[in-house]
Amino acid sequence: MNAQRSDDDEVLARAWRGVGHLTLNRPRAINAVDVGMIRRIAIALDRWEHDSDVDLVLLDGAGDRGFCAGGDVRALYESVVAGRTDEVHTFFLEEYALNHRIATYPKPIVAIADGVTMGGGIGLAGHARIRIVTERSQLAMPETRIGFTPDVGGSWLLGRAPGRVGEYLGLTGATMDAADALYAGFADHLVPVAHLSALEEALQYRADPSSPTELVLLFDESPERSNLETWRLWIDDAFSADDLDGILHRLRQRWEPEAHATADLLEASAPTAVTVTLEAVRRARALPSLRAALAQEYGLVMWFATTQPDLAEGIRAQLVDKDRSPSWSPAHRADLPPGRVAEAFAYEPSPALW
């Protein structure tokens, strides 16, 4: 996909003073990643794993707008619409392999999720050993907005958020600020933008204390109270209901305006996407590993990409024509076939993930 661009230009990989530094370098696209960029990152990690001169990896994004807005959804749209399922398989297979590689990498990976960090950006930053946000961070798993479901290990993180916060974030695609990301378990430290250069220098020069975590703590600040923490009462009450109808009923019974706004949002969302996502987050909560969650997600995303019209329609409405008026299929929850969720989780893509 997008073969006209140079991978070497769009992922900058350099090593200096013990730090392997990877920078996503598509600032005009808020560093959205395509398969070429994924491969470039994987090659650098392979090279540095056995390089005794590299002790840790720093992962960040170019520009002031964000670390990574996600995967290259336009390229995905073109592949889906054209029926090039081999390209769709390749993208997700290699992206998920990289997500798992980051989570299990033997050397510390320090990810700086500054600015917009969504979807595929969470897959890169959210599984690093040390995850940093800033005062301008905006994190989200917004896949349901395009008739899709959280992936890149997002269901694993959502399933481990406190209470029913994971269901809330997964179904709504709500954006988290730094305080929310820390509270929900998507980040570990808040470092102000003004201190990022000093942090990078400290990682390179290994001033005492010497471990990456201890160095980050020198620049860490405490955030304000998270909105998610403030809203936990109504979130837990509503999103503990058995199904989407129950969630909507409880949201409508609440007095909080945020609960009613959430109900309005869910009512307008793709019925298939939110119903499957609710089950995905709950199943991920019981899975034994990120690897298992990625395998579950892979089946779901290929089911959406190869059998459901909502994914292409959602991307069209949000990013291609930008009319913000998707025609979901079906348009109403009452029209969902009874076995739709079971069908999604029974789908077995070929080739398999692992």
List the structure tokens of 252. Answer: 């409508």
Quick check: 139 and 113 in contact, CB under 8 A?
Answer: yes
SS3 69: coil
Is 119 assigned a catalytic role? Answer: no
The C-alpha atoms of residue 299 and residue 315 are separated, in whole angstroms, by 20
Long-range contacts of 291-296 (CB under 8 A, 24+ apart): 291/100, 291/354, 293/153, 293/155, 293/156, 293/159, 294/96, 294/99, 294/100, 294/151, 294/152, 294/153, 294/156, 294/353, 295/352, 295/353, 295/354, 296/155, 296/345
Within 8 A by CB and 6+ apart from 242, the residues are none
DSSP state of 56: E
DSSP state of 225: P
DSSP state of 131: E
Maximum pairwise Cα distance, the chain: 62
Is 163 assigned a catalytic role? Answer: no
Q: Indicate which residue of 7, 95, 114, 143 is catalytic.
A: 143
List the structure tokens of 36. Answer: 């070429």
Q: Indicate which residue of 72, 114, 151, 297 is catalytic.
A: 151
Is 188 assigned a catalytic role? Answer: no
Q: Indicate which residue of 20, 71, 147, 159 is catalytic.
A: 71
Is 18 assigned a catalytic role? Answer: no
Quick check: 300 and 280 in contact, CB under 8 A?
Answer: yes
Backbone torsions φ then ψ of 90, nearest 5 degrees: -60, -45
Amino acid at 171: L
Q: Indicate which residue of 36, 66, 120, 147 is catalytic.
A: 120
List the structure tokens of 187. Answer: 């980040």
| Residues with catalytic function | 71, 120, 143, 151
